[in-house]
Amino acid sequence: MNYYSLHHKAPKVSFQDAVVKGIAPDKGLYFPEKINPLPKEFFDNIENFSKNEIAFELISQFVGDEIPENVLKEIIADTLSFDFPLIEIEKDISSLELFNGPTMAFKDVGARFMARCLSYFNNDNNNEITVLVATSGDTGGAVASGFLGAKGVNVLILYPSGKVSNVQEKQLTTLGNNIKALEVKGTFDDCQYMVKNAFLDKDITDKIQLTSANSINVARWLPQMFYFAFTYQQLKHKNKAMIFSIPSGNFGNICAGMMAKQLGLPIHHFVAATNINRVVPNYLESGKYIPLKSKQTISNAMDVGDPSNFIRILEIYKNDLLTLKKSLSSYSFTDKETKKAMLKIYKNSNYITDPHGAVGYLGLKKYLEDQSEDFQGIFLETAHPVKFLDVVESVIDINIEYPEQINKVINKTKEATFIETYDELKNYLLQ
C-alpha cells in the first residue's frame, strides 16, 4: 500500500517508509492511497472470527505485501496479548476498557504494533533508528514498554518535569536497556517544540534516522481500528445501532474508528468528547478551524490545542463539513462537570472511571439526550483510574490498589537526564 502526504508536496511512499519516516518531508501526515471496504459477509459473520483474525482482516491492506502474512499474524498476536472487556454500566451504555495492556492506557495497542513493525523492517540490516517522542504522560510509558528491546531501535522520551503523574514517570524512566528519558524543565509544549526542532535540524538528521511514535505515525494510528470491531463482535446480537464516544486529544483514536467505518464497520455515529480544549467542537459549530494554546485540565492526555490527526478526519470526509457533521458530533466539558460525572457513575453504577473516560461518558449522554431512536452507546475508557490516582481518589472517596503492571515499576529507581535547553537535547543525540 502506498501513502501520500496530506500536504501534497512530497512523493508517495511505501508502508515501510511511512513507518520509518513518521512524517513526510513536507511535514504532512501520511494517508493511505486507497481504502478498500471489506466484504459485507465479514461483518455479517464477525462472531465466527477470533480477535487476531479480525485485526488481520482490518489491517492487512494497509500493510500490503511489505510484511509477509505469517509475520503480520505474529505481530498482531503479540500486540493483542490482553483483553478488551466491554462493561455495561447502564442499560445500553457500555464502557470499552482499553487499559489492560502493560502500561494501562489504550496507547499500548498502537505502540506495540508499531514497535514490532519497525523491528521487522530492521531485522535484515544493521540500521539504527531513533524514536524521539514528547509525552504529556501516557505516550511515553506505552512507547517505552512497546519498544523495550526492539532490535536496532533507540528510544528517547522527553517529558515535562513535575507534570506527569508518579505512576507515569516510573513507567517511562525505569526500564533501561534501549529506552532513555530526558526530564525537561518546562511544559509539554516545550518538549514537543524541542522534538519538532530536532526533526528539522540537519546536523542531527544527516547523522541519525529519527522517527516519531506519536499517532501521526501510521503504524501507531491504524491498529486502533481493531477495538471498534471487537466491540461490534460483542454487541451485534443486540441489533441496535452503535454510537461511539471517544475522549479525544490528538484525535488519532477517533480517526481510527472512522477508518474502521470506511472499511464497512456499521458505526452509526461518533462523538468526540473533549475537555475545555475545544478546537473541534468550535469547528463543528462555526466551520472555522482555529488552533488555540492548550489549557491544563485533569484529563491531561487531552490537553491539545491543535489536534494533529484532525486533518486526516477532514481527508476521510473530503473536507465537507456537512457530511462530517452527519457522522460526528463534538462536545466539550469542564473539569467540574468531569468530576461530577465520575462521582455520579460511581454512585449509580458502582463503576470507577478515570477523568478521560468520564469525559467520554458525558459526551455520549449529551448526544443520546437528543435522540428519539434506541441506540447502544459505547464510551472508550482510555486509561485505568490508577494512572490518575490523585484525581480519582480525591473525587471518589476510595483507595485504589495498584494492579500488577504498576507494582512492577513503582518501586524501581528513576533514571532520567535533566535538560533545560534545545542544545542539550542536540548534544545528547549527537554524543
- Does 259 contact ligand PLP by CB under 6 A? no
252-262 and 226-235 helices, crossing angle to 10°: 60
**DSSP assignment letter at 48:** G
In a 10 Å sphere around its CB, with 0-12 CB exposed, 13-18 middle and 19+ buried, how is residue 282 labelled?
middle
The one catalytic residue in 40, 91, 107, 207 is 107
Give the Cα separation of 197 and 426 in Å (integer).
9
- Does 233 contact ligand PLP by CB under 6 A? no
Do residues 179 and 147 lie in contact, with contact meaning Cβ atoms separated by under 8 Å? Answer: yes
List for the chain the helix, strand, coil content (%; round to 5).
Answer: 50, 15, 35
Select the residue interacting with ligand PLP from 178, 231, 248, 275 (CB under 6 A): 248
- Does 278 contact ligand PLP by CB under 6 A? no
Q: Do the strands 2-5 and 13-14 form a parallel or antiparallel pair, or are they unpaired?
A: antiparallel
Give the Cα separation of 16 and 343 in Å (integer).
46
Do residues 33 and 1 lie in contact, with contact meaning Cβ atoms separated by under 8 Å? Answer: yes
**x/- site string to ligand PLP, residues 46 to 85, per CB under 6 A?**
----------------------------------------
- Does 302 contact ligand PLP by CB under 6 A? yes
Nearest distance, CB of residue 174 and ligand PLP, angstroms: 19
Select the residue interacting with ligand PLP from 76, 93, 101, 107 (CB under 6 A): 107
Nearest distance, CB of residue 286 and ligand PLP, angstroms: 21
- Does 384 contact ligand PLP by CB under 6 A? no
Nearest distance, CB of residue 136 and ligand PLP, angstroms: 8
Question: Which residue type occupies 420?
Answer: E
12 has catalytic annotation = no
Segment interacting with ligand PLP (CB under 6 A) among 89-97, 184-192, 248-256, 331-339: 248-256
Q: What is the DSSP string of 103-122?
A: TSBTHHHHHHHHHHHHHHHH
Give the Cα separation of 146 and 172 in Å (integer).
11
- Does 105 contact ligand PLP by CB under 6 A? yes
Segment interacting with ligand PLP (CB under 6 A) among 176-184, 251-259, 280-288, 343-351: 251-259
Residue whose CB is less far from ligand PLP, 138 or 190: 138
Give the Cα separation of 71 and 174 in Å (integer).
30
Select the residue interacting with ligand PLP from 141, 223, 252, 385 (CB under 6 A): 252
- How many residues form the binding site for ligand PLP (CB under 6 A)? 16
- Does 251 contact ligand PLP by CB under 6 A? yes
Select the residue interacting with ligand PLP from 245, 250, 330, 405 (CB under 6 A): 250
Residue whose CB is less far from ligand PLP, 309 or 376: 309
Reduce the DSSP state of residue 162 to 3 states and report it. Answer: coil
Select the residue interacting with ligand PLP from 222, 301, 391, 416 (CB under 6 A): 301
Residue whose CB is less far from ligand PLP, 174 or 248: 248
Site for ligand PLP in 317-356 (CB under 6 A): 356
**x/- site string to ligand PLP, residues 192 to 231, per CB under 6 A?**
-----------------------x----------------
Give the Cα separation of 246 and 86 in Å (integer).
14
Question: Which residue type occupies 57?
Answer: E
Residue whose CB is less far from ligand PLP, 222 or 302: 302
Give the Cα separation of 343 and 407 in Å (integer).
26
Q: What is the DSSP string of 52-71?
A: HHHHHHHHHHHHGGGS-HHH
Residue whose C-alpha cell is 536496532: 152
Residue whose CB is less far from ligand PLP, 156 or 380: 380
**Closest by CA position to 205, among listed 23, 419, 14:** 23
Catalytic residue set: 107
Using CB under 6 A, list all residues that contact ligand PLP: 105, 107, 138, 215, 247-253, 301-302, 356, 382-383
